[in-house]
Structure formats: C-alpha cells, structure tokens
Amino acid sequence: MDLYELTIHQALEKMEQGEISSVELTRNCLDRIEKIDSKLNAFVTVDREGALLQAAEADRKRSRGEGGLLCGIPLSIKDLLSTKDLRTTCGSKILEDFVPVFDATVIQKIKNEGGVILGKVAMDEFAMGSTSETCFSGVPHNPYKRGYVAGGSSGGSAASVAAMECLGSLGSDTGGSIRQPASLCGVVGIKPTYGRVSRFGLVAFASSLDQVGPIAGNIDDTARLLKCISGYDKNDSTSVKQPVPDFSGFIGKSIKGLKVGIPREYFGEGVDPEIAAIVENGINILREGGAEIRDVSLPHTEYCVAVYYIIAPSEASSNLARYDGALYGYRDNKSETLLEMYKNSRSAGFGDEVKRRILIGTYALSSGYYDAYYKKASQVRTLILEDYKNVFDECDVILSPVTPLPAWKMGENKDDPLSVYLSDIMTISANLAGIPGMSVPGGFTRKGLPVGIQLQANHFMEEKLFQTGSYLEREVDLNRPELAL
C-alpha cells in the first residue's frame, strides 16, 4: 500500500506511532502528483519545496510533542484562498501572477494545526461555474473517466482528493461548488452553515452566499478538517460567535428515530433514473436503520435558480470591481487614459463567463432595475428560508440527490449558460438559506461515474449531517471502480 492511500486518521496514527514521517508521506503525495497530474490537471501550482519544508517542521514539532490536529497531513487548497507567498490565481488570467502577502484565516488555522500545503488546485474562474472548465490554466478531468468533468467550481479539490494526490482539500461553495464536485468525483464534501467558517482571505464572489468547507475521502476526515477551520474570526464580521462542536463525536451515532425529510420537488422529471435509484437505495438504508422517513415539501424550489442568478451576479459585479489593473493583477499597459486602462485590463483579464455574470449583475443593480431584480430576488429568498424553517420544524435532515445528472463530457453546453445554471437546482437553495449541506458517496452509474447523496440540516446542525452521513458511508455498498488514471 502506498502512503498516499491512507486516510487522514490512519496517517496521523502511523506518524504518532513513528511508523512513517510527514516528509515521507508528503514526498509520496508529491511524487504521485508528478506522475499523474499531467493526465488529471487538478493542480494549478505545486509547491514541492515549501511542502517538504512544512513537512519537516511538522515532524520536528511531533517529536517535541507539539503537533496539532493535522500535524504533517498533506492537503490541497482551492486557488481562491489567499496563501502567503504562494501564487493565488482564482483560475483567472487577471490574477495569473498574484502572490498574496497574507494568509486567509482558514489557511492560518490549517498551518497552526500542522497541515502541509502541497499547492493550489483548479477551479472555475472566480468560482463561477459547475465544471471547472473556465479555469485559465487547464481543466481537471474526472478521476473515474478522463474527458468527463470533475464538477465545479471546486473541481480541482475534489479531483485531487479522489485521485489520492492529497489526503484532503479546502474548497468553497457559493451555489454547490463543494457538494457538486464531491458528488461527481465520489468523495465527501461539506458546505458549513453561513458564518461557521471565516471568509477572511477567501476571494469574494457572492459575499452573502460564499462559504469555505472541506473535501476529503471519508466522513471522519471531513469532520476533522471542519473542526480545524471553524469558529468566529474578528476579521470577518459575518462569522458567527457559536461554539464549535466536536463533529467527530457524532460519527456512528445511532439514527434510530432520526427524522429524514424527502422533498418531493427534488424528484421530478429531469432526474437521471440511475441517480434516482441510488438515492432511493440510500433512503431505504436509513429506513432499515430505524430512521423515520417523511415526505416533505419545499414549494419554492423551482424559483431558486432564478433567485440565485440575480443575487450571485449582483454581488459578484460589485466584488469584482476591484480588478481594475491599478493595485494588483493584470494591467493593459498600452492604455493611455485611466478609463481605457480599466476597460482594457478587465476585458483581457476576465473570461467570458465572468464577464457575463458581471453584466447580469450590473444590469440588475442599475438604476431603475434594482427593485425589479435584486429586491424581488431577496424577497423570494425570504420565502425559501421559510420553506426550510417549516421542514426543519418536523425533520432533522433533508435527503435528496446533489445533481440531476452524473458527470458529463467536457465541452457540452458551452454556448448555453442557462442549461448549466439549471443543473445547480438542488444545491443553491442551501446557500440562499445559509444552511449546511453535505455530499456523501451513494453509488456509481453503470458507466462507472460517481453519484453523491445530499444531506441538508438546519443552521449550525452540521452534527446531524455527520451522524446521517456516517451511517450511509458504513452501510452503502459502493462497489467503487478503479480510478481511470
């Protein structure tokens, strides 16, 4: 067995017992990246030297008995979390040479716990997408089928974990960007409650929806990573002062009497029959385990995509105004006036999808249209929140598919943005409501493509996700095929 196949839990045990060192483990992961990443394209930047230095430091700390919760564990980081002295591109040409001067709070926390950062991984440009195809540096493949998408926007995170280039990863989720690639790549991903994790140093896309979260090979490792990054941060005024529970403590807890809601709106036409069968299997397993399955309704589900594609682009158009070529990032040097410099730098630096969303947002916020679009969407957002409130009055978790379709071929739907937007229908409502959601592997299609099951819980009830998810993880017979690498 190669060291990169270890779970975080197993690797920590082996290091604790002195069987392996972090330097050996880290080198093993780096060698794997060198060997397979030209076929996978998960990494934008590999920091071999820096990672080995961090690993050596972790080994020293451990020998002195000072190691943290992730001491010596090699991780990949989505390329929109600010990493000091390590290039952070957001998958965009406009930040191609950007080297941050500070660490995001979550990166500081990972480093404090002894985590080793191998490098930065691919994503849709500024996290706007569901396939990672808009990443300027190359598109990650699905580790189970080359030529198929890994999902997005945290496609590099999910692909690098599934392909065992690292033991875990941090991604971000604005409309499903952790849960959807986790589902498409057959790994576990969790979007925490809005405010659970600091957004300081997370490059902003849609500030009222963005949330950082972990992706890992199993529930236990995901719980460990989430514990490390959670908590109030004075640098993020929207982070919430809530105690951080020991999420791992809920793993394996009995699900007898657990009330699981099945929202009928998530099972309409358009859901692939293989996905429906895999999700149905998950429901049956929970029922047999003693959970109480209830038919519930989230009546405003059909409006979620419309609400999201007003709110997210509006916030993005405002957030992305900062890329103007003046202080950092790409600048068009031929421009003679300031206005030309803004326009030419932004036009050459941003890709088509980012421009499209900036334009939608600029339109929705422009004079005379604000009430019709942004205000209207924010009102319907309230109705979506109320739907959830009603369901969580009688349920502990909501179970559904993550996506209507399994991973698709790269290049499909290229000129039809709306059809791609519609594929987000099952994930974006959790962001609009600020509730936590998880994707846990549920099975594989006949073609060998992974399919996840989505669990959602009420605000700050991530523990219910770990409780339910760990039961599914233990009882579902995945029949995991070999990686196609």
Residues in touch with another protein (CB under 8 A):
97-99, 101-102, 194-195, 208, 234, 237-238, 240, 300, 302-303, 305-307, 309-310, 317, 321, 324-331, 333, 335-344, 346-347, 350, 355-356, 358-360, 362-363, 366, 373, 375-383, 385, 415, 417-418, 421, 433-434, 459
Identify whether the C-beta of residue 188 lies closer than 8 Å to the C-beta of residue 56.
no
- If you compute the radius of gyration of the chain from its CA atoms, what whole number of angstroms results? 21
Angle between helices 462-475 and 219-229 (to 10 degrees): 160
- C-beta of 187: minimal distance to another protein in Å? 27
Between residues 63 and 235, which has the closer beta carbon with respect to another protein? 235
- Pairwise CA distance, residues 243 & 274, whole Å: 40
- Pairwise CA distance, residues 403 & 414, whole Å: 18
- C-beta of 351: minimal distance to another protein in Å? 12
- Pairwise CA distance, residues 100 & 103, whole Å: 7
Q: Could you say which of 177, 230, 248, 470 is catalytic?
A: 177
- C-beta of 234: minimal distance to another protein in Å? 7
Between residues 2 and 352, which has the closer beta carbon with respect to another protein? 352
Between residues 105 and 445, which has the closer beta carbon with respect to another protein? 105
- C-beta of 474: minimal distance to another protein in Å? 32
Half-sphere exposure of 328 (CA within 13 A, CB side): 12
**Pairing of the two strands 168-172 and 212-216:** antiparallel
Q: Could you say which of 76, 78, 137, 160 is catalytic?
A: 78
Between residues 407 and 425, which has the closer beta carbon with respect to another protein? 425
Between residues 45 and 378, which has the closer beta carbon with respect to another protein? 378
- C-beta of 283: minimal distance to another protein in Å? 28
- Pairwise CA distance, residues 73 & 114, whole Å: 7
Tokens of 378: 């924010």
Between residues 98 and 267, which has the closer beta carbon with respect to another protein? 98
- C-beta of 324: minimal distance to another protein in Å? 7
- C-beta of 3: minimal distance to another protein in Å? 36
Identify whether the C-beta of residue 468 lies closer than 8 Å to the C-beta of residue 215.
no
Between residues 38 and 326, which has the closer beta carbon with respect to another protein? 326
Tokens of 411: 């290049």
| Active site annotation includes 137 | no
- C-beta of 457: minimal distance to another protein in Å? 14
Cα 460 from chain centre = 18
Does residue 374 sit in helix, strand or coil? Answer: helix
Which residues 6+ apart lie within 8 Å of 396 measured at CB? 258, 259, 260, 457, 461, 464, 468
Between residues 261 and 434, which has the closer beta carbon with respect to another protein? 434
Between residues 94 and 271, which has the closer beta carbon with respect to another protein? 94
Which residues 6+ apart lie within 8 Å of 469 measured at CB? 188, 219, 438, 440, 455
Strand segments (E) across 98-144: 116-121, 141-142
| Active site annotation includes 177 | yes
* Burial of residue 14, with CB atoms counted within 10 A of its CB: 0-12 exposed, 13-18 middle, 19 or more buried: middle
Identify whether the C-beta of residue 188 lies closer than 8 Å to the C-beta of residue 438.
yes
The span from the first CA to the last CA of the chain, in angstroms, equals 17
| Active site annotation includes 198 | no
Q: How far are the Cα atoms of 14, 111, 218 from residue 72, in angstroms, in the given order?
A: 11, 10, 18
Tokens of 477: 């017979």
Q: Could you say which of 82, 92, 137, 153 is catalytic?
A: 153
- C-beta of 287: minimal distance to another protein in Å? 31
Tokens of 95: 């930040």
Burial 245-257 (b: 16+ CB within 10 A, else e): bebbebbeeebee
Tokens of 285: 């397993």
Catalytically active residues, by annotation: 78, 153, 177
